[in-house]
Structure 1
Amino acid sequence: MPAGGDSSFIRRSTLRQQIADALRDEVLAGRLPSGHPFTVKEIAEQYGVSATPVREALLDLCAQGLLDVEQHRGFKVHAFSADDFVAMVEARTLIIEGIFRSGAEHALRATPAEVLISIRRRADEAERAARAGDLDVLIGYDLRFWRELGSIVGNPYISDFLDRVRVQTWMFAVPLLRGTDDLGARLWHGHSQLAKALVQYDVAEAQRLIAEYNEHSLALVGKRGEHSG
């Protein structure tokens, strides 16, 4: 931050994050579908703000892999393929396996009780939303659940990368799930079981549930069994 405390810089940075968060939510909800084009001017007019924080927010989303820059034309929502999705699931599997290989039980036992309680609360909310087929609510709680779970290792690079991959997997999965019959039956709802295993320091059961979840995810694109999860 500039010396002396530049309040305009703070406001612009806050606005930049708010715009990025709002657009990310629109993408995750499927209201901005893959390939959808737009310009800085359009977004600035939509939110009633100047172009600078909008451009910065869009570039942030590009860095997260959610948007593409179209030379001299603006931006568009990135289109992920089924192969991309399989690679994402494999990537998040390797991240989580790495967490459990690097002393997960010790990390869990060292985690403050209030953090574990919060993880379990997020899990319960995510499971309720999944069983109800409420995709928008599920995504919000699911991302918070895994973000808090990733934070127990105390490595922000790991938790940030896991969060980024999870956002991308949801971005691909949402169009497949929207409009399907009996959505509650199709969504994975083992969050509470996983949280219970973590609270009980049962690493083996947590790993089993995560493998089950990954197989469930791969089944969405007919890739069940091609990766061990």
Structure 2
Amino acid sequence: MTEPRPLGLPSFAPRTSLREQVADALRAAVVAGEMVPGQVYSAPTLAARFGISATPVREAMLDLAKQGLVDVVRNKGFQVTEVSGADLDQITEIRLLLEPPAAAAAATVATEDDVAALRPLARAIVDAAAAGDLIAYVEADREFHVRLLTIGGNPRLVEIVKDLRAQTRLYGLAGLAERGHLADSAEEHLRMCELLADGDAHGLEKLVRIHIGHVRHEWAGDDS
């Protein structure tokens, strides 16, 4: 069995929410394509990379298994669940139905505090793109969009979108980062903040629709 390639995973200090922190980091690694189908990942090996015990890692991986992101390999560890192009097409179709109008709704009710809370996340996305830190990019991107949609006041929609985003695979991110193109998509988040601040519902809806198109094609490594 070949050894897993090194992953750019962070280290954590022990906290009561350690299991959730590990799950978030591993989920981002799966979505970003840092963890790939066909490779077995053991809890002890991942725990050593995090600098923590294996228990919260194993628990986090079981949480991801319940979400359908990984499969349990008996007595060995976990494998990332394969996602087909057809799966990504269906996920994108649903996201396009939900997210652009929800973002438009957010633009009609957003406060200055709402916009102020999003700006640091947008900047974190830009910084992660510049550094080529794919896991940090995916995590900041997820948090940004969840907070944006939350402003609209429909928590059920937000939960559905969170699940759909977790099932997405962005295998094209590494190539975009290497070519210096990831920064272009990152900058879109700063523009979203401006549109939100201006209350431009139509402009924000249009930009979010374009942004999701990136996810299916350039970000997923599919230029078709």
TM-score range, shorter chain: 0.7 to 0.9
Structure 2: runs of 5 or more not aligned: 1-13
Aligned residues: 204
Instruction: Name 1:207's counterpart in structure 2.
Output: 205
Q: Superposition pairs for residues 17-166 of structure 1, below 5 Å?
A: 17-28=20-31, 30-40=33-43, 42-43=45-46, 48-49=52-53, 51=55, 53-71=56-74, 73-99=76-102, 104=105, 107-127=106-126, 129-130=128-129, 132=130, 134-136=132-134, 137-166=136-165
Instruction: Name 2:181's counterpart in structure 1.
Output: 184
Kindly state the Cα deviation for residue 217 of structure 1 after the two structures are TM-superposed: 3.2
- For 1:84 and 1:186, the matched residues in 2 are separated by 27
Contact 2:70-2:78 within 8 A present in 1 as well: yes
- For 1:119 and 1:140, the matched residues in 2 are separated by 14
Instruction: Name 1:6's counterpart in structure 2.
Output: none
Q: Secondary structure at the match of 2:199?
A: coil
TM-score (ref. length: structure 2):
0.72
Amino acid across the alignment from 1:164? D
Instruction: String of CA shifts for 1:108-157, please: whole Å, max 9, x gaps.
Output: 45444212212233224434554x37342432322221011021123333
Higher CA-based Rg = 1
Contact 2:173-2:182 within 8 A present in 1 as well: no
Contact 2:37-2:82 within 8 A present in 1 as well: yes
- For 1:143 and 1:125, the matched residues in 2 are separated by 12
Q: Secondary structure at the match of 1:95?
A: helix
Contact 2:37-2:81 within 8 A present in 1 as well: yes
- For 1:127 and 1:212, the matched residues in 2 are separated by 18
Contact 1:44-1:50 within 8 A present in 2 as well: yes
Kindly state the Cα deviation for residue 21 of structure 1 after the two structures are TM-superposed: 2.8
- For 1:28 and 1:37, the matched residues in 2 are separated by 16
Answer 1 or 2: higher relative contact order, Cα 8 Å, separation at least 6. Answer: 2
Kindly state the Cα deviation for residue 190 of structure 1 after the two structures are TM-superposed: 1.6
Amino acid across the alignment from 1:177? L
Instruction: String of CA shifts for 1:89-125, please: whole Å, max 9, x gaps.
Output: 2222122145257xx1xx5454442122122332244
- For 1:15 and 1:127, the matched residues in 2 are separated by 26
Instruction: Name 1:16's counterpart in structure 2.
Output: 19
Relative to structure 1, is the Cα distance of residues 95 and 133 closer, same or farther in structure 2, using a 3 angstrom cutoff? farther
Amino acid across the alignment from 1:78? T
Q: Secondary structure at the match of 2:172?
A: helix
TM-score (ref. length: structure 1):
0.71
Contact 1:92-1:165 within 8 A present in 2 as well: yes
Structure 1: runs of 5 or more not aligned: 1-10, 224-229
Contact 2:110-2:197 within 8 A present in 1 as well: no
